[in-house]
Copies of this chain bind each other. A is one copy, B any other.
Amino acid sequence: MNTVAETPGEHPVTDMKRCIEDCLRCSRVCFSMAMNHCLEQGGPHVAPPHFRLMIICSDLCRVTADAMLANFVLHEELCRACSRVCEECAASCRDLDGMEECVDACEHCSKSCAAMLRR
């Protein structure tokens, strides 16, 4: 039996709450690692395509979280873009030293956002 409030055609409330948490964590981890670990390491950690991914991923995750926090009806448009960008950011981080936390945050966020899309 489902103990979670659920309206037909909508997402269970707990799924959205988890997605908000995953987006906020990913936004914070990407920004913090870009501005600390990546800048301090230099070299491939500040290669333009990688660094741009980190910063735009962080910004998009935050707006996606805000859309869900605001009960915005079109949150799926943002979740779709966010899921894709997080997936690419995870892939870019996987090739670099010391980015495990960022890979994990991006992977979780990508999956949570994908789960918000209407099947």
Interface residues of A (CB under 8 A from B): 24, 28, 31-32, 35-36, 39-40, 42, 46-49, 51-53, 55-56, 59-60, 62-63, 66-67, 69-74, 77-78, 80-81, 84-85, 88
Instruction: Report the Cα distance A25→B80, complex, angstroms.
Output: 24
Q: Give the residue name and chain of the B residue nearest to A89 (CB).
A: B74
Which B residues are CB-close (under 8 A) to A88? 74
Summarize A's interface: helix, strand, loop or mixed.
helix
Which B residues are CB-close (under 8 A) to A55? 35, 55, 70
Q: Give the residue name and chain of the B residue nearest to A61 (CB).
A: B63
Which B residues are CB-close (under 8 A) to A49? 73
